[in-house]
Chains A and B, each alone.
Chain A
């Protein structure tokens, strides 16, 4: 007997193998969320990844696990959870670790249907917890991947159950004595080949289209849903405490900031509503360090107490010292990645800062520094109005204390003028100051001194991320300053501070980020950890303000005069692939962050306006076309025009006829697939005509011949088919003829059939 080839189908063993693979992928996707949750689950994650990956590749491995392990597994897991909870007293991390243990166990044992479903639920728990806690773009990508895999997994479960039938429920389960049959002869390349053969591209395309549709619809709903802070509502944030991975803390040793420079990860994204106010070189201040001791700068307890106060404040709005600008307000929106610092980057003083949710924080208006109580575990967004980026920070309080100081004693609160170095080092510093001041006439002002000191340091030292501090007695910073070794920003800034203090100018180190790139795709500043920087601020008593002095920049005053606005952005424009990826992240942030519902409303309005505009343009285009046709028709007619019209009509008719006659045939050839009930469109069409001819039988030899040919198309071997389109055309002709005849003869066959 000859038979047509059917599309191959996966057998039960192959379905089991596919299910096994997908289950493993789901478990891995879920446990990898620990990468960005940082809750002491790395070891467990590594073990789970290794074990699950191994059994995915070698499915026979689980059969070698002794039965005793299975017996003791669940009591052990329960004990582990209880112990974890007892020791750490943190519920959520313990639950996450429990979830990972269960996933590990389920991942390395043969699963029945309920176990497969359990894997999905366990994985979903991890994904959702990670997503809620981090609100990161990675979560969006991961939930998409997870959803796709989970759908495939569910499909494979259904297909496996259907293939097993009712009487073979235990076929996929592990056998007590050894691995199931499907696990003993795995050939993954062969499985993928079979999968490719068995997959119908139309089903795959339809599935992908449906998935994309669901994602699109979800995105639209997401845009329209009101935002709320689920982590704050559930107090989840307190359960997961994340440590900053960078060096931006109250105390920084020399080299801490430079270590951050090795990390090229994204630290901060900044949106600005008016590009013209963007400075040529923005400095994103985070922390002021006033106390120096033996190579280490830190925020002195005194300054912390006087500036930040004793108590945390709670709220969404923070008022700064800067006056609002005239004209339209300029908004800077900061998206600070988690793990950077609890000190928020700011470019200077501001008038109003708004969090998107209530925060516990401490503010120092004098220092223009804002600190959250805890390290944020997720992205922190805040919007700042009227940010002062000039680099000059007025400090009336300090100015007053400075004026009223007793020159004989180091008054409390004036630590920013204190030199905590040995007398010998002080002498060396004095000598250096004299050298610097010798360059110009008369007494030197703060700005002038700072510039000269910066130039002197740059003259004697090259920039290097691998500095060498000469050995010997005394303060390491002074030793470096008086040498010719290269150094990094902290050494430069620290030296400048010591020099300024030695010269009698109060000075302090400031840490944060410098510069950043302008993302040309999403139009925002992108600041990476590698942009971490330290610089100095020198107090100008005449102005009563702190002046920014970056000893690694050529003339801080000159910087302020450099091109601002669009020109500055053009110089920093980044259109790399990395920027494209970062733009996605910013897009995500812009959509999930909502300060006052306004941006959400604006987005929806923009969508509506775009739709209306498209409709309006279409209507206008149609109206213009109609007018053009009307005008053309109203024009004088001659033979040439008539011939043109006729030619056009004939061409259109010909095209229409070709489409009608052959279009469906081309479509049928395009979508033809082997096998399946009525799956072949030619067979389907032939069947349709045969049914039609049962109702209205054709007459004569021609009719019988057409029926015979249609039967051949419907039931015959494809290789023996006549030209289908030709037969369908003839069928149409004889069927119309039969219909006409039966109308002429009301008592004809059509009534009797």
Chain B
């Protein structure tokens, strides 16, 4: 591997990402920053946890991405009675061939929407661990690869926590980023109101990239150059979370790697073949916040998220940015 990205690759990546961005903005209005973050997560090869209220466009976002990439999309509504096999698939006995045949579950797609993931039991949530980490499912000792590329969009409601099972830290660590959609601006919402549209499956979007293009983008992201002082900056931020008294525990090594990879992806999404310190600062909260928990007890989850975000902001603003 060369130690820098070829000029042709960066222009090609820029072209592909511009096409994706434009296509998704057709359906996701007024959320350009969220679209960019999703693209960052896609290019970094990560999974996304979206926390927001119902009806703000989370499913539409995932579906639009899948359609734009010409990829298989599946949606799993997580409930308390959902079983792991409902997610991953099950081996059933086939009378005709006289043997067990594996029936693939909904996770065998390229973009999987795990809706309201925290409503499922921890056992079912754990069924996603392997597939999110290794992009494969192991049933009865046999490994089955899921789609390539593979991206999980998980959603959860931050307000209504009744009857839910909070995701364990190991599960949270598998998500590259956690985003909030938020309400759109009034002008954008008006525009949405004007459109005559049903459910997300009525969306018609032309694919602008194919799976091969996405894999190329993901490969290119790894070639984005990270200068020593920027790496040092990442290290300082990660180290500071480990000495911060407000957190229960600091960010893991995987968290630091995730921040670096996400920064590389952001640089590529912005048409650069090198990482700027601002790529890191912009991604500190989305990449690290969900991996951290407060040492003290809080009254509700929202307050904890706000406190974590504030502490993270304080940390990165106190560390000198490389210039």
A residues sitting closer than 8 Å to B (CB atoms) are 1-4, 6, 675-678, 683, 687, 690-691, 694, 711-712, 714-720
A2 & B5 in contact (Cβ 8 Å cutoff): yes
A677 & B274 in contact (Cβ 8 Å cutoff): no
Proximity bits, B131-165, A CB within 8 Å = 1, else 0: 00000000000000000000000000000000000
Can you give 7 contacting A-B residue pairs, CB < 8 Å? A2-B225, A3-B3, A3-B228, A3-B231, A711-B276, A715-B227, A718-B4
B273 & A4 in contact (Cβ 8 Å cutoff): no
B225 & A717 in contact (Cβ 8 Å cutoff): yes
> Smallest CB–CB gap between A715 and chain B, Å?
5
A714 & B228 in contact (Cβ 8 Å cutoff): no
Chain A residues near B231: list those with CB within 8 A: 3
Chain A residues near B322: list those with CB within 8 A: 687, 715
Proximity bits, B227-250, A CB within 8 Å = 1, else 0: 111111000000000000000000
Chain A residues near B66: list those with CB within 8 A: none
B229 & A717 in contact (Cβ 8 Å cutoff): no
B residues sitting closer than 8 Å to A (CB atoms) are 1-5, 7, 222-232, 260, 264, 273-277, 322-323
Minimal Cβ-Cβ distance residue in A for B227: A715
B323 & A690 in contact (Cβ 8 Å cutoff): yes
Complex-state Cα separation, A641 to B175, whole angstroms: 81
Chain B residues near A677: list those with CB within 8 A: 228-229, 232
Chain A residues near B323: list those with CB within 8 A: 687, 690-691, 694, 714
Complex-state Cα separation, A224 to B277, whole angstroms: 57
* With A1-B224, A1-B260, A4-B227: A719-B3 Cβ-Cβ less than 8 Å: yes
Complex-state Cα separation, A719 to B225, whole angstroms: 11
Minimal Cβ-Cβ distance residue in B for A688: B323
Minimal Cβ-Cβ distance residue in A for B260: A1
- From B1, B225, B275, B277, A720 is in contact (CB under 8 Å) with B225
> Smallest CB–CB gap between B236 and chain A, Å?
12
How many A-B contacts at CB < 8 Å in the complex? 71
Complex-state Cα separation, A676 to B3, whole angstroms: 18
Chain B residues near A712: list those with CB within 8 A: 274
Complex-state Cα separation, A711 to B270, whole angstroms: 14
- From B2, B3, B5, A4 is in contact (CB under 8 Å) with B3
Chain B residues near A714: list those with CB within 8 A: 227, 323
Chain A residues near B224: list those with CB within 8 A: 1-2
Complex-state Cα separation, A365 to B81, whole angstroms: 125
Complex-state Cα separation, A718 to B231, whole angstroms: 16
Minimal Cβ-Cβ distance residue in B for A712: B274
Q: Counting chain B CB atoms within 10 Å of each CB, which of A6, A675, A677, A714 scores highest?
A: A714
Complex-state Cα separation, A6 to B228, whole angstroms: 9
> Smallest CB–CB gap between B273 and chain A, Å?
6
> Smallest CB–CB gap between B6 and chain A, Å?
9
> Smallest CB–CB gap between B302 and chain A, Å?
36
- From B223, B229, B230, A2 is in contact (CB under 8 Å) with B223
Minimal Cβ-Cβ distance residue in A for B257: A1
Complex-state Cα separation, A690 to B321, whole angstroms: 13
A678 & B229 in contact (Cβ 8 Å cutoff): yes
Minimal Cβ-Cβ distance residue in B for A690: B323
A715 & B260 in contact (Cβ 8 Å cutoff): no
> Smallest CB–CB gap between A39 and chain B, Å?
57
Chain B residues near A4: list those with CB within 8 A: 3, 227-228
Minimal Cβ-Cβ distance residue in A for B273: A720
* With A715-B276, A720-B273: A1-B227 Cβ-Cβ less than 8 Å: no
* With A677-B232, A691-B323, A720-B273: A2-B1 Cβ-Cβ less than 8 Å: yes
Minimal Cβ-Cβ distance residue in A for B4: A717
Chain B residues near A683: list those with CB within 8 A: 227
Chain B residues near A3: list those with CB within 8 A: 3, 225-226, 228, 231
Chain A residues near B225: list those with CB within 8 A: 1-3, 715-717, 720
Which 8 A/B pairs are nearest by Cβ-Cβ distance? A717-B4, A716-B274, A717-B225, A2-B3, A719-B4, A715-B227, A715-B274, A720-B4
Minimal Cβ-Cβ distance residue in B for A678: B229
- With A715-B275, A716-B4, A716-B225 already in contact, 6 other A-B pairs whose C-beta atoms are closer than 8 Å: A1-B223, A3-B3, A3-B231, A690-B323, A716-B273, A717-B273
Chain B residues near A715: list those with CB within 8 A: 225, 227, 230, 274-277, 322
> Smallest CB–CB gap between A721 and chain B, Å?
10
Complex-state Cα separation, A715 to B4, whole angstroms: 12
> Smallest CB–CB gap between B287 and chain A, Å?
16
Chain B residues near A676: list those with CB within 8 A: 228
Complex-state Cα separation, A526 to B230, whole angstroms: 67
Chain B residues near A1: list those with CB within 8 A: 222-226, 260, 264
> Smallest CB–CB gap between A467 and chain B, Å?
79
Minimal Cβ-Cβ distance residue in B for A716: B274
Complex-state Cα separation, A3 to B226, whole angstroms: 6
Minimal Cβ-Cβ distance residue in A for B279: A715
Complex-state Cα separation, A1 to B275, whole angstroms: 11
Complex-state Cα separation, A676 to B227, whole angstroms: 10
Complex-state Cα separation, A677 to B230, whole angstroms: 10
A2 & B276 in contact (Cβ 8 Å cutoff): no
Minimal Cβ-Cβ distance residue in A for B222: A1
Complex-state Cα separation, A718 to B274, whole angstroms: 11
Complex-state Cα separation, A715 to B234, whole angstroms: 14
Complex-state Cα separation, A6 to B231, whole angstroms: 13
> Smallest CB–CB gap between B138 and chain A, Å?
30
Chain A residues near B276: list those with CB within 8 A: 711, 715
A717 & B274 in contact (Cβ 8 Å cutoff): yes
Complex-state Cα separation, A30 to B48, whole angstroms: 68
Q: Counting chain B CB atoms within 10 Å of each CB, which of A1, A3, A717 scores highest?
A: A1
> Smallest CB–CB gap between B293 and chain A, Å?
27
Minimal Cβ-Cβ distance residue in A for B1: A2
Complex-state Cα separation, A683 to B229, whole angstroms: 11
> Smallest CB–CB gap between B11 and chain A, Å?
13
